Amino acid sequence: MTTFSMQLYSARNAPPLADRLRELAELGYTDVECFRGLYDDVPALKAELEANGLTARSGHFSVDLLENEFDRSLEIARMLGNEILVLPYVVPDQRPKDAAGWRDFGARIGAIARRIKGEGLRASWHNHDFELREVEGGGRPLEYILDADSAIEWEADLAWVVRGGEDPAAWLERYSGRVSALHVKDIAEAETRTDEDGWADVGDGTLDWSSLWARGRAAGADLMIAEHDNPSDFSRFARRTIDAFGRFEKGN
């Protein structure tokens, strides 16, 4: 059974959140993915999700939060019903500069992932484009992260894979069986949608999502998470995207 979810970062500029959650439920989404900016009042967030019949199978937790406040992270995840704790990003000034540094970073993520797994939950890394670019000493950061430990699953953001200059189908095949979820987002035609940072509504861009959806399912993903980093109209994005999800799930 495929879960249709929405990364709530997409709705950060379209408050109030309560209205967006109601809208998502009415459109047919059954799940959302939360992020750190929503964790100030977790009981209230949980109540809003429950009021709209929404689950939160996954949630984003920063590396520093998991390393320095693991118990708090776990409390948040369990309160929201997360199955998967996703490590989403490393800021530029904290990124290793070479292969050796990324190996060490992968070991750090592996230690966090094992600790999460020991609590009966799952850990997953979410990529951007920088992890797909070769570093000094050879190799790509995403390889050093995912190859560090089998406890690290992959929340595959395939649009960022494309922006990183790589073939998303090849990466899905390479890590088949360890893909926990897909971030389903789309890229606009070159030099269009500049007001939306070059992103498009899912199914209205340049990625072959009908094929990638099937490949993602075959690689293990049963959680499909809509995302747009800067939609000019969140309601339009949410509506058009879930329509596309229905087509892709039917193989169209």
Domains of the chain in sequence order: 3-249 (3.20.20.150)
Predicted pLDDT at 167: 98
Of all residues in the chain, the percent with pLDDT exceeding 70 is 100
Q: DSSP state, 188?
A: P
Residue whose C-alpha is closest to residue 221's, from 186, 185, 184, 178: 178
The C-alpha atoms of residue 157 and residue 149 are separated, in whole angstroms, by 20
The C-alpha atoms of residue 126 and residue 89 are separated, in whole angstroms, by 7
- Does position 252 have pLDDT exceeding 80, yes or no? no
Region 104-117: what's the mean pLDDT? 99
- CA 186 → CA 114, 191, 225, 232, distances in Å? 32, 14, 12, 14
Residue with tokens 């950060």: 12
Predicted pLDDT at 78: 99
Cα atoms found within 13 Å of the Cα of residue 199, Cβ hemisphere only: 23
The C-alpha atoms of residue 133 and residue 200 are separated, in whole angstroms, by 23
Region 97-119: what's the mean pLDDT? 99
The pair of three-digit structure tokens given for residue 207, joined into one six-digit string: 């990625």
The per-residue pLDDT of the chain, averaged, comes to 98
Residue 1's pLDDT band, with cuts at 50, 70 and 90, is confident
Residue with tokens 């560090």: 148
Region 184-206: what's the mean pLDDT? 97
- Does position 79 have pLDDT exceeding 90, yes or no? yes
Region 116-131: what's the mean pLDDT? 99
